[in-house]
Amino acid sequence: MRVSTRVEYGLIALTDIVINSENGESVSAPDIAKRQNISHKYLEHILLLLRQAGFISAQKGLKGGYVLACSPDKITLSDVLNALDQNILADMDTVEDPEALGFVINDCFWGKINQSLNRYVQGLKLSEFANECRNRSSKNWDLYVI
């Protein structure tokens, strides 16, 4: 499955904010852009979408940036994906003739994949997702060389 860069970068940016604002500190857009190798201008557009969806809020000032507007335990990945692209979790378009092969394939294959994806992202909290990402990208690997 391919998703738009808006969805990909939005999920990256929001996860970065969760991980780097744990002590209540704000996270600046330039810091996110540099850490995640995302265009600062494009990131600002994505952060605006995340702000409009109510996931983050902006703090002005010298130590300004972005913080979560609510607990990551209250945000599902489904919420995030729908805020960034309303078509990603939408039901598949169907062919008018229910006996046509295209309809059957959409229903039997793509429909089931879409249902599975929906169940997965509706049950996954942003906090759980961020913890898994933090654990998998940890730079504190023990290295044993022979």
Residue 113 lies in a domain: yes
The range of the structural domain enclosing residue 113 comes to 5-136
Average pLDDT over residues 84-111: 74
Residue 115 lies in a domain: yes
Angstrom distance (rounded) from CA 68 to CA 54 = 9
pLDDT, tens digit, for every residue of 115-142?
Answer: 888 899 999 999 999 999 988 876 654 4
Number of structural domains (the chain) is 1
Helix (H, G, I), strand (E, B) or coil at 99: coil
CATH number of the domain residue 121 falls in: 1.10.10.10
Residue 52 lies in a domain: yes
Res. 55: pLDDT tops 60: yes
Give strand ranges (E) for the chain.
56-59, 65-68
Residue 15 lies in a domain: yes
Residue 23 lies in a domain: yes
Whole-model pTM: value is 0.81
Residue 145 lies in a domain: no
Phi, psi of 135 (to 5 degrees): -65, -40
